[in-house]
Structure 1
Amino acid sequence: MAKNTAQQNPADELAGLRRRIADLEKAEQVRHAGEALLASIIGGSPIPAFVIGRDHRILYWNRALEELSRIRADEVVGTNQHWRAFYARERPCLADLLVDGALKAIPTWYTGKYIPSKLIDEAYEATDFFPELGEEGRWLRFTAAVLRDAGGSLVGVVETLEDITERRQAEEALRAAHEELESRVRDRTAELAKANLALKETTEHLSLILESLPIVSYSRQAEPPFALTYVSATAREMTGFDPERFLEDPGFRESRVHPDDRARLPQVPKARRHQGRSEYRFRIADGSYRWFSDYWRLLRHSGGPPPQIAGVWQDVTEEKRMRQEAELRLQQMIQTHKLTALGEVVAGVAHEINNPVSFISYNIPLLEEIWSAVEPSIHRLGEIDPRWKNRDVKPEEIIRHMREIIEAFRVASNRISRVITNLKEFSRSDERSTRMKPLQVSEAVQGALLIVGGQIRRTVSTIEQRIEPDLPPILGNIQKLEQVLTNLLINAHQAMPGGGRKGRITVSARSVPRLDAVLLEVEDNGRGIPRENLGHLFDPFFTTRRDSGGTGLGLSISYGLVREHNGLIGVLSRPGAGSRFSVFLPVEGKTLPKVLPSILCLGTDLEFLGTLKAALVEVETWEAGSGIGAPTVLKYLDEHPEVDTVVTERNLPDLDGRDLVKAVRNRFPLVEVLLCASEEEVRQLSAEGATGEILAKPSAARRLQKILEEKGRLRL
């Protein structure tokens, strides 16, 4: 008898085997889908690339690499002969060394030609000449990066290549021209007149080359006050300012550099340091910021004039943008794989929950019908049974409570059904779900709250919704918008301080007709974001919570999803007060105009308003006449969400500036609001015990600039 019990039923064994086979088939389908997606991304990339597996065999060989190497993919895929594209004899490529984990062997094969990647973990970059490529050989810059699965196991290595032959040839040509110039000077020293003429001609030639290149060449003093002594005419094309502006005003260049980047400006050369490079944001004439790369070299003249610094500025905005977009595409691919796996789990959970919930939902009407039949009996029992009179509970109360319980069952089952429906929507991964179609932003808000509302209510006591009715539709994908909102809500939830203080999150959606856009905002009263972190907030992998599991992908993925909707995302944060994330989405069929941070200045002193306008180009002045009250200003701020600072005179025709300051702070707690008055009024207000900083004329413009640098602006 014991022996029969220990033996497993053959039917159970067969059923278990079938389940395992089904699980294996499902995992194989997911793997094939992931491989197809990766093959599509790599195959369609304009960047030459190939991928090898753990066995060094080629998995992918894209069309761009076919054109570069003249080797077709069908000739090498599945083999370990990728070396044929680059070398005459078989030898390991950089990708092979990473597959084997032979990092110590990299210097042996690429001595003086490689560096660890500063952008990607477990990746290396190298530059080398390949004589086997093309007719005369090619210079390539290549990057190899390790690919790991969700469990952290190595699955292969991807190697991308960039043809820099023309750039190297240009460098060699410039070096050859320089050597030729030195040779001519040495050979013709005796012929002073001819040497001067040759030097003049060569100088003019080099100047013409510099003026034609997309760079600004400059020179400056190597000692205090470090003033610029020369700026090339290309400054006009690159910055919109004449070279004279830089030469006449020693502080002009620094004043146009972003406040957060001024520490990166080239300073006094340190001992034994004769050259350097830095990058910073420079505000050009149209008010926008561009990334400049500043290369400089210290020039010393033996027995001649004092040493000088010569350098060039180069606009690298597009290069940085392309690099960031490439990183973001990689992270989106990784996130897609994660969401696919998560979707399968969610679909399974939703299915398991749906069965018992369906049972409950179907039986609630039956329970209600049975109870309706029982109620008269309870009434009669209460009337004829004297024991009911001695009890604390009356039959009427039992009947009422039971009806409330049945109704609670109905409400709860409906809510669970809505959650299941939302989970099923989240788990859908067919192509139709990625198409853009007209949708209501309010639906995305409700979907996101349904997904993460329960989680964030653990630290948030209030989730306030300010959804404007009858919003115009936008063209988008509701699942992607839900993902953006989910990330922003979780980010706000995680920003809440400890110590038991409950937080508040406000989710708002309103139409902004002047921008042809719908504005989504998620605002919290949490810790806020330090100024030094704001510039990196949307960078992939940037996180301040890595020790607690933060990946730094949520906001970068949200940035990419908003860009897919042709929208704009920005953040306004005040440390200790909270943060507000704003998402501008164009109305269906419209194009979002350029949006820049703005300052609103109200007053009656036209000369003062003009001074602020001249000092800060982003100022919008408003001559406050009669009839202007706080509601008018609040309406203006609703219609102009890019305003992050308000400056108002104390004495307005029909309004006390102090009342306006209170009204704006109550409605927009993160907007910086400042009162401005004459020096006499400032002394009077101080004597009356006024709190907060008050700008004093006529130096208010300079003080306002410092306040903005200290507290930061809206980042868009």
Structure 2
Amino acid sequence: MPAFDLSAFLDGHPVATFVIDTTHTITHWNKACEHLLGWSTAEMVGTQNHWQAFYPKQRALLADLIVSGVDPAASEYYREKHKRSALIPGAYEDEDFFPNIGASGHWLHFTAAPLRDAGGRVAGAIQTLRDVTERRVAENALRKAHDNLEHLVEKRTAQLAEANQRLEDDIRQRELADAELRRRNIELTALNEQLGMTQQQLLQSEKLASIGQLAAGVAHEINNPIGYIFSNFGTLQSYLGSLFDALQAYRDAEPHVADAAVAERLRAMREELDLDFLREDIPSLMNESKEGIVRVRHIVQDLKDFSRVDANQEWVWANLHQGIDSTLNIVSNEVKYKADVVKQYGDIPDIQCLPLQLNQVVMNLVVNAAHAIGAERGTITVRTGADDAGEQVWLEVRDTGGGIAPDNLSRIFDPFFTTKPIGKGTGLGLSMAYGIVRKHNGSITVHSTVGAGTTFRVLLPVRHEEAQPGPAPEQGPGPA
């Protein structure tokens, strides 16, 4: 091909390319080379100075080695870095960083191949240069993010193990305290039978005080590890966001990978892992888990409230249906094996309330309904509605369980009253629910039929006002 035609072809080629002859003299230096390296065609063609565009001191490039017939494996500069081209016979590839190119240096990928005459003899060499800086930066960023994530996981795992150990130690201490408390209760009960009704009332007061103190202590101890988990959870969400950004940068760089086999392997791995699905599902899982942690913190806060520990509460306007749906998600594992949950929502306005406390009410009512259902699968119906004036909303939780005996209806909202076996219930759930509803200037009623089921109905004002003394909760013999 005539030199003029080859020059025109190379100048129109977007890849930086230069050509040398058998005397290592530059015969072609295209415009892409000028743009990338900053050396003009006039400065380079006809010289042997192509090394100056890359190195401060003279040394052979891959094209020089091909023209000289030297195997790059024998060169001190390329021995560890070069590789044979998989596409071009007799060609070699290399990749290196050049700090003197551009403001902050560039990573370049070289491919050098021999040029042969009609007799098959080497008549020169052609070398192309591709700027792979973005890919290298993305790879380094991904590698750094991966290393940071591994370090973080190891660190958090160690912290979690330490927190678990402290929690196990605390549980063992609480078990010992519970065993001692049960022993004392047995002794006090025997003494109670001997001293009569007056001494029995005194014993009940001491028992409530002891359990209240224990509840406050447990709440304090649980708050510490929950605090660690909550703090670490936010940090983990931030790190996951950074990791996804790094993965996206790597994905953007994927089309620029020179090796087709490597590019195909990366694409197959991305499809196998389904990264797009993970980017959508992981934040959802993280949000649900964080909501669970927040719920635990507020349960502990409710326990402290019961133990007469000051609480920080804020009244806000909230959608009751959203709170119910969120609570049903949290307790689904408790309910799904016992009953089908049917939601019958009416058209209700937002209400001014303490949303997390109302969620606690819903949780207690739904879990109690699930526990009331026997071996045969039942149904739990959650209904809502509003009065005609739009000043009050109501919530009903109805189950198809065994119902509540009439003798127990008048006591179900008493603290520590439970019909469950020892160790299966604290008797605090409905009492706490009643206290929360009264705090909202609302009312809670129960209607039950033995063998047919139970319905709890909660009535709440739309707008919060300071609580006024109200009647005790109502009980009835039949379903609402």
Choose 1 or 2 for highest CA Rg: 2
Compute the TM-score of the two structures, normalised by the length of structure 1: 0.33
Which structure exhibits the higher relative contact order, with contacts defined as CA atoms closer than 8 Å and separated by 6 or more residues? 2
Compute the TM-score of the two structures, normalised by the length of structure 2: 0.47
